[in-house]
Amino acid sequence: MTDDVKGKAGKAAKAQKASDKATEKMHSDVTTSLDQLEHPGAKAQKVSEDVKTSAHKGAKTAAHGAGSTLKKNR
């Protein structure tokens, strides 16, 4: 195998691992949300903090992406 093929295979493996990890996290988040619906009040503090953190990260990423787009269009 050439180094280029090995590098691409390594990148594909990393991407698959990241995808699997994201899927596992999403499953965990959904399970936690369903548990909250079934048992309101249990672990409410942790869930609300996770939601705030996720929302903040999403807003920050979106704002950064919009700023980058504006700079490119100038």
Whether residues 4 and 35 share a domain: the answer is yes
What pTM, to 2 d.p., does this model score?
Answer: 0.43
Q: What total of structural domains would you count in the chain? A: 2
Whether residues 51 and 70 share a domain: the answer is yes
Q: Which domain holds residue 13?
A: 1-42
pLDDT score, position 34? 93
Whether residues 65 and 47 share a domain: the answer is yes
pLDDT score, position 4? 76
Whether residues 23 and 50 share a domain: the answer is no
Give Cβ neighbours of residue 67 (< 8 Å, ≥ 6 apart): none
For the cut 70, the answer to whether the pLDDT of residue 61 exceeds it is no
Whether residues 11 and 36 share a domain: the answer is yes
pLDDT score, position 46? 60
Closest CA to 51 of 33, 27, 31, 24: 33
